[in-house]
């Protein structure tokens, strides 16, 4: 459970999203648009940006959950995500993607670190303006998501293997929020299932 009393026994951001319906729905829609909406970047690449920024922010839940979603898209048992966080230059991704991740890393530290030559260099490697836009927005949004999760002290899953299932679910079903009229029933069902485990 978080630092606040939510009455919801779920790990990470799920507890917070369900706690307050209107904000939970808005944040879920933002994640759905950023990571599954129309973009020149694949959903796997966008999940990779989310995971990378979360790692830089030392947000374990978001790094692992979005890393698992990227893994589900790439189907490489975590090789890409692990390489990106340990040695970006050697990671099995395009030079364009490596440079976009460098831009994301600058945004994570301060948006003002990104300069015009960064954008020009990304373009030279094949990035479109939309690719750059989406990278910067995902990086900025995940700084917010990371601080939301860690600022309220959310719990991690009891078993690290849960991230794998979470990643598959995020990769296939996305970030859709239940209708607000069904929110209380969904919470009741989730708490009931959690108490049996």
Does some domain include residue 2?
no
Stretch 123-152: mean pLDDT, rounded? 98
Number of domains into which the chain is organized: 1
The answer on pLDDT for 48 being more than 70 is yes
Residue 61, domain member (yes or no) = yes
Q: For the domain that residue 69 is a member of, what is the CATH number?
A: 1.20.1290.10
Dist. CA 115–CA 165, nearest whole Å: 39
Instruction: Give the domain extent around 101.
Output: 12-196
Q: Is residue 100 part of a domain?
A: yes
Instruction: Tell me how far apart the alpha carbons of residues 67 and 47 are, in angstroms, rounded to a whole number.
Output: 7
Residue 148 covered by a domain = yes
Reference 45, options 101, 1, 83, 85; nearest CA is 101
Residue 1 in this model has a pLDDT that exceeds 80: no
Q: Which residues contact 87 (CB under 8 A, 6 or more apart)?
A: none
Q: How far is CA 56 from CA 23, 50, 72, 110, 142, in A?
A: 25, 10, 21, 12, 11
17 in a domain, yes or no? yes
* pTM exceeds 0.85: yes
Q: Is residue 4 situated within a structural domain?
A: no
Domain annotation covers residue 99: yes
Residue 40 domain-assigned (yes or no) = yes
Give residue-wise pLDDT tens across range 145-166.
Answer: 999 999 999 999 989 999 999 9
């Amino acid at each position: 459970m978080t630092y606040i009393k939510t009455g919801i026994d779920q790990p990470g951001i799920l507890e917070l999203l369900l706690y307050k319906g209107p904000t939970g729905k808005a944040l879920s829609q933002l994640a759905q648009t950023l990571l599954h909406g129309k973009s020149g970047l694949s959903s796997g690449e966008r999940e990779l940006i989310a995971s990378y920024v979360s790692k830089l922010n030392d947000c374990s839940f978001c790094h692992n959950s979005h890393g698992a979603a990227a893994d589900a898209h790439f189907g490489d048992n975590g090789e890409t995500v692990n390489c990106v966080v340990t040695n970006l230059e050697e990671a099995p991704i395009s030079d364009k993607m490596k440079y976009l991740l460098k831009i994301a890393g600058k945004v994570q530290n301060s948006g003002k670190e990104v300069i015009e030559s960064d954008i020009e260099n990304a373009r030279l490697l094949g990035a479109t303006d939309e690719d750059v836009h989406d990278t910067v927005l995902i990086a900025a949004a995940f700084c917010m998501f990371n601080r939301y999760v860690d600022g309220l002290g959310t719990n991690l899953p009891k078993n690290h293997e849960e991230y794998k299932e979470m990643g598959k679910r995020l990769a296939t079903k996305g970030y859709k929020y239940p209708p607000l009229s069904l929110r209380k029933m969904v919470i009741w069902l989730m708490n009931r299932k959690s108490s049996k485990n």
